[in-house]
Copies of this chain bind each other. A is one copy, B any other.
Amino acid sequence: MKRLDSRDANFNQQLDALLAWEGVSDAAVQARVIDIITRVRAEGDTALVEFSNQFDQVNAATMADLSVSPERLKQAYDGLPNTERDALTQAAERIRRYHAHQVQESWQYTEADGTILGQQVTALDRVGIYVPGGKASYPSSVLMNALPAKVAGVAEIIMVVPTPRGEINELVFAAAHLAEVDRVFTLGGAQAVAALAYGTETVPRVDKIVGPGNVYVATAKRHVFGQVGIDMIAGPSEILIYCDGQTDPDWIAMDLFSQAEHDEQAQSLLIACDAAYLDAVEASIERLLPTLDRVDIATTSLRDRGALILVADETEALALINRIAPEHLELSVADPQALLPSIRHAGAIFLGRHTPEALGDYCAGPNHVLPTSGTARFSSPLGVYDFQKRSSLIGCSPQGASTLAAVASVLARGEGLTAHARSAEYRLLPKAD
């Protein structure tokens, strides 16, 4: 595993190289996606059935073969072993409770002259959730995407999940039942995104599409952005651990593995001020890595994208954290709250030795859909706020309108927009004198 040292002359270049990641969707992917979207818009269900048969190797005759009934979802839920059903239910309950804190309320205030200003907060009408098929099909993602929308008050949630070669993930169906997803279609790829964005005879048009997907899905989402809302375009998952050298090295090694086992592109970084501690973690990694079920993926991920980083002191560590703006940040230190005011950019912050990322991934309550690849510099975890929107409220009293009209008239004429000025001036009250 790579070792970096902040005292090295070329540390900055090494770090840049380590962090470099750019989602590539080349011209061929772009063209393919535009073609798929165009056909779904023109041909609707017919195109969906054709593309699904072609790309997912299913055998659908009509959209009925790509629609999942609520009864089928319930059957999946009822069929789960008790321990799994209980765990899923507890996770859902905690996620709901946490997200309830994010609900935003409308507000208004009245100025001295009677003018009212404020914002009205409303939920989106209809939301689409993309769930990847096959191996990356996670029931926890269904909960994390659907429950904030439910808490926001979204009236209808449409889920799409491809079933490559007919493979169904019962846990995903069960999670959809638990999260009260309204309709499920076994669709995937750019065609699913197009169907949600524009609607077909069977698939209703939604107002926003959330959820991760492959390069075709990401490219399609970027393309339909504006027609519908979208969440972030997600890159590979990352963890950055800052440790004071007092946490059991085996714990830290396993926390790094929990990220590295996701996929070869995942990134696991550890920062410490103590070289001997980095040695100890490296020894744990070497001992434990061969015991992992997903040893090949984790080995590649750690080799290509992982690093143990030595820094001079806590100040340097904090600067590095903010520069990296990690998706997941573990502060494996004695007093993590003391560091919080210095952390400006991170998707989720895990406080203390007893808070591994895995708890947040499943059931602590906060969302596991988080900004990757440094985008925590400007974006937030998925939340209820992503499923609410605001309308400005302006209600002028006759006196208030008259006062504002005088100002607006000057500014509008300054911009050469004289119809604006005259519209304002109609609301001037006669001067009392």
Chain A interface (Cβ within 8 Å of chain B)?
Answer: 23, 83-84, 86-88, 90-91, 98, 101-102, 107, 109, 115-120, 122, 124-125, 135, 138-140, 171, 207-208, 222, 225-226, 228-229, 232-233, 248, 250-251, 254-255, 257-258, 260-262, 292-294, 298, 329, 336-337, 340, 343-352, 354-367, 370-371, 373, 375-381, 383, 385, 389-398, 400-401, 404-405, 407-408, 410-412, 414-424, 426-427
Contact = CB atoms under 8 A, between A and B. Distances in A.
B107 A101 contact: yes
B117 A364 contact: yes
B208 A394 contact: no
Contact of A419 (B207, B257, B421): B257
Contacts of A257: 419, 422-423
Copies of this protein in the assembly total: 2
A277 to B, nearest CB: 17
Contacts of A135: 416
Q: Which one of A140, A366, A392 has the highest number of Cβ atoms from chain B below 10 Å of its Cβ? A: A392
Contact of A358 (B381, B390, B412): B412
B366 A401 contact: no
B122 A410 contact: no
Contacts of A410: 83-84, 86-87
A392 B116 contact: no
A362 B412 contact: yes
A394 B117 contact: no
A379 B229 contact: yes
Contacts of A373: 226
A48 to B, nearest CB: 22
B378 A389 contact: yes
Given A171-B414, A359-B404, A354 B389 contact: no
Given A337-B395, A363-B408, A414-B84, A419 B258 contact: yes
Contacts of A336: 395
Contact of A422 (B254, B337, B392): B254
